[in-house]
Amino acid sequence: MSNNYFIKPMSMALEMLGRISSSEHVNRWKLREPALKLVYQGMRQSVRVGKFVQSRYVAPKSLKHDETLKKNILPKKDRFDLTLTREQQMVRDELLKFSKQVIRPISRDVDSGEVSSDFFSQVNELGLALSGVPEAIKGAGTIRSPISNVLMAEDLSYGDMSLAIAALAPLAFVNTMTEFGSRDQQARYLPPFTDENFFPASIALMEPEARFNANKLKTVAVPTNAGFRLNGIKCMVPLGMQSELMIVFADLLDHGPRGFILEKHYPGIHIEKEKNMGLSASGMSRIVLTDVEFPVAALLGEQEVHYSHQRMIDLARIGICGCALGTCQAVLDFVIKYANERIAFGEPISNRQAIAFMIADMAIELESMRMLTYRAASRAEQGLPFHRETYLAQLMCAQRAMQIGTDGVQILGGHGFVCEYPVELWYRQLRAVGILEGTFVV
Amino acid sequence: MIHLEIPKKLRQVGDMAHAVAEGMFRPISRKYDRFEHAYPEELDMLRSILQGMADGGSGMGADGLSQKKKGKTKEIKNGNNMAVVLNMMEICWGDSGLALTIPGQGLGNAAIAAVATSEQKKRFDGKWAAMAITEPDAGSDSAAIKTTAFLDGDKWVLNGEKIFVTCGERADLVVIWATLDESLGRAAIKSFVVEKGTPGMKVTHLEKKLGIRASDTATIILDNCRIPRDNILGSESIDTKKSFAGVMQTFDNTRPVVAAMSVGVAKAALDLTCELLNREGLSFKYEGHRFEIPAIEAEIYKMEADLEAARLLMFKAAWMADNGKPNSKEASMAKAKAGRVGNEITLRCVELCNSLGYSENHLLEKWARDSKIFDIFEGTQQIQQLVVARRVLKKRSKDLK
């Protein structure tokens, strides 16, 4: 199946060779040597084209059905509950420590856009992507857990949302694969994420239009003899310059939005780093696809998995809500400390109701965002319908996250406006909530 | 494991309350809104039902609210506090005014359950108790009350004026907050049980109100009202070192209940609004980008998101109480959020439905009037914000006023 795309040119060449070598004209006019040379060149060229498109990710075996991650995880008891599992609590403790000790101290510097490879080595040791890869292929994952992924987004974003998105981009790819990929695709494309080096990968969904609609993509995929040909422009793709692998979403003629696994070396791909209001450390890039050829096996899920585009969009929306929670918590914790220390008119400004109430409201709205996000994620994890809950969570986060961001600057007054303090950075990052789509599939 | 769905057992409780709301409250809702001071006799039957359930150990009344002590077992509970808020939410979906005047379910009952001795609980069992705290000059600042109590022989003598007493006229008992010594501040404030008909206690006035008209709101004058010595709730001694934590803790448990009332009314408004809009061709499928859908649809989703948040915050506070986790901050967050969004939603629904919203032909305008009080009584929005702010900023009341 994976060899379809170069057997055809090869068989054509062999047929041509056969005809020429048996031709009396070639022998009579002593054209045999040059003819053979020509055929040889032609054949080598066609094999080269075929090889270009051939995947260098070859799986030794496919995944068995029971080796994939378990889905639809139900709670042991039917009880309203807000307690984390012991594992989630351990991961939370570790990631918050990483956020405070490693991420937050560099968060201002990386806003220039330069992130050291050292950082990514440290991130790799956290094993984020590994946690989503099935155990059968040397990963640490056993279940699909949107809740655990939301908590990771929340805890890393507490350090810095930009770096969180960068750190989690490979896991986004992994989650999309384990959710929608065929067993062959999982076996082929997930092993690099268990490597000792950080393996960058991304999801490419957004397109540069003011009225971008995630359900009506302008990037188009047309079926060809060898697979598919894609044309279009993707924007705000995290780690775009570095990623070896991507899942690009395009409208497949007569089928609607589908995912396509892109390997960086395919011809026709042009990548440019973007400059945005914030989130520069996440390496957001623009991907231009001009007649890019994809093999048949690049279709996410192939014929094996029923793809639900709305589900993918919703899982990613929950992911961004998770990032919003962490960033807003950072703002809240910072302004509490600042307001308690800043003296004006003889006492801390936190003694004044105008400031204290603004902070109380920030806390209340953050808790509101949190409850809606957790509910959407927990329903997704349990296999319950979660589209409505995600829609409401995103609505809440889009509105309230920015309010918290702007109030954060306000409380610091003039100091909030300058780069010496982090609130202006969070303000710029939080505006992306409500805009980003597909960034972090939980 | 994080799981934010209401379990089947609780859902059944909610469904039952919803049936009472729909079958018993809705049909008489407009009637008692119009006849403000008429006694809703239809509710006497409900009293028997609830008393029967309570005697059977359902723990479902106001007296079922309490902070559970952290038990030996680590198992997560969905207990009485959650059941009561769910119940109240559904009942208020029916009619919040009537909910406040259910015989046997007064705020005084919650106070008695929290602070009374077992002898007192036996004595007052089955009686409907109102709570009288507010005075003309003391609302939010409940420590500034001036009603006095002094001991004369073996009787307490009460003097003062109480306003805004819910069920003050209808209840069998009134729990009166009075001070033993004004100069000693809040430590000297105690609560006293006065039975209806006791000489010296008189209901002088019933308020005409913007909403919750079915619930009577009384002014009570105490003029040398003499009650037995053992009608005091809690200890007689004044411990100036103690804050008045005991009775205030009752409020940690009742705040989620008031949040529930607000959520219930707002849900009623949103449900009816969607129904009316459905009849006129609108459907709500959560499809389309929030900027590309009709404004009216976007408004509905925004309200729904806020209401969902209020509902979950309410359940979180109740869940914490059920599991022995201190929940003062969360209880205030729930009440603050529910109070403000409940009012916003009910008012917005009237606006969205145009003349249908404004007309007395539908209950929308009534709910918009009812909702306002939930952001005011039992701690105004501003007091809730103060409580949350103090917790979040770790401030004492003398620093953040």
Q: Supply the ipTM of this predicted assembly.
A: 0.92
What residue ranges of chain B have pLDDT lower than 70?
Answer: 53-73, 241-250
For residue B280, what are the contacts with CB-CB under 8 A and spacing of at least 6?
none
Instruction: Answer yes or no: are the C-beta atoms of A222 and A228 closer than 8 Å.
Output: yes
Class of domain B8-114: mainly alpha
Q: Which residues in chain B touch residue A396, judged by CB atoms under 8 angstroms apart?
A: 305-306, 309
In CATH terms, the fold of domain B245-393 is Butyryl-CoA Dehydrogenase, subunit A; domain 3 (1.20.140)
Residues of B annotated as catalytic (active site), given as ranges:
378
Q: Do B1 and A81 touch (CB under 8 A)?
A: yes
Q: Is A265 exposed, middle or buried (0-12, 13-18, 19+ CB in 10 A)?
A: exposed
Torsion sign over Cα A287, A290, A293, A296? positive
For residue A129, what are the contacts with CB-CB under 8 A and spacing of at least 6?
A170, A171, A173, A174, A193, A199
Q: Do A395 and B337 touch (CB under 8 A)?
A: no
Tell which of A177, A198, A219 closes a domain.
A198
Instruction: Answer yes or no: are the C-beta atoms of B330 and B337 closer than 8 Å.
Output: no
Instruction: Answer yes or no: are the C-beta atoms of B52 and B29 closer than 8 Å.
Output: no
Chain B residue with Cα closest to A84: B1
Position A72 in a domain: no
Q: Does B43 touch chain A (CB under 8 A)?
A: no
For residue A28, what are the contacts with CB-CB under 8 A and spacing of at least 6?
none
Tell which of A276, A298, A320 closes a domain.
A298
3-state secondary structure of B126: coil
Q: Which residue intervals of chain B bear CATH 1.10.540?
A: 8-114
Q: Do A79 and B305 touch (CB under 8 A)?
A: no
Which residue from A85, A359, A375 is facing B392, i.e. has the nearest CB?
A359
Closest approach of A169 to chain B, Cα-based (Å): 24
Position A136 in a domain: yes
Q: Which residue intervals of chain B bear CATH 1.20.140.10?
A: 245-393
Which residue from B6, B286, B308 is facing A372, i.e. has the nearest CB?
B308
* Number of domains forming the structure of chain A: 4
**Cβ count within 10 A of residue A420:** 8
Do A315 and A425 fall within a single domain?
Answer: yes
Q: Do A213 and B306 touch (CB under 8 A)?
A: no
Q: Do B333 and A367 touch (CB under 8 A)?
A: yes
Which residue from A350, A361, A379 is facing B400, i.e. has the nearest CB?
A350
Tell which of A198, A226, A244 closes a domain.
A198
The CATH code of domain B128-233 reads 2.40.110.10
Do A99 and A158 fall within a single domain?
Answer: yes
Q: Which of A72, A82, A384 has the most B C-beta neighbours within 10 Å, making it the best mutation to test the interface with B? A: A82
Chain B residue with Cα closest to A367: B313
Do A418 and A318 fall within a single domain?
Answer: yes
Do A170 and A264 fall within a single domain?
Answer: no
| Mean pLDDT over the full length of chain B | 92
Q: Which residues in chain B touch residue A377, judged by CB atoms under 8 angstroms apart?
A: 2
Predicted pLDDT of residue A48: 41
Q: What share of chain B is helix, strand, coil (3-state, %, to 5)?
A: 50, 15, 35
Q: Do B292 and A211 touch (CB under 8 A)?
A: yes
Best CA proximity match to B375, nearest among B258, B208, B269: B258
The span from the CA of B88 to the CA of B227, in Å, is 33
Q: Which of A73, A80, A351 has the most B C-beta neighbours within 10 Å, making it the best mutation to test the interface with B? A: A80
Do A95 and A183 fall within a single domain?
Answer: yes
Q: Which domain holds residue A352?
A: 309-430
Predicted pLDDT of residue B263: 98
Helix (H) or strand (E) holding A72: none
Q: Do B312 and A359 touch (CB under 8 A)?
A: no
Do A215 and A237 fall within a single domain?
Answer: yes
Which residue from B1, B76, B333 is facing A364, i.e. has the nearest CB?
B333
Q: What share of chain A is helix, strand, coil (3-state, %, to 5)?
A: 55, 15, 30
Mean pLDDT by runs of 10 across the 442 residues of chain A is: 44 60 57 57 47 70 93 94 97 98 97 94 97 96 97 98 98 98 96 96 98 97 96 98 97 96 96 97 98 96 95 98 98 98 96 98 98 98 98 97 98 96 98 97 97
For residue A345, what are the contacts with CB-CB under 8 A and spacing of at least 6?
none
b/e string for A292-318 if b means 16 or more Cβ within 10 A?
A: bbbbbbbbbbbeeeebebebbbbbbbb
Q: Do A339 and B5 touch (CB under 8 A)?
A: no
Structure tokens at B370: 């009812």
Which residue from A83, A357, A369 is facing B76, i.e. has the nearest CB?
A83
Position A227 in a domain: yes
Do A285 and A356 fall within a single domain?
Answer: no
Instruction: Answer yes or no: are the C-beta atoms of B82 and B10 closer than 8 Å.
Output: yes
Phi, psi values for residue A268, rounded to 5°: 100, 5
Torsion sign over Cα B272, B276, B277, B279? positive
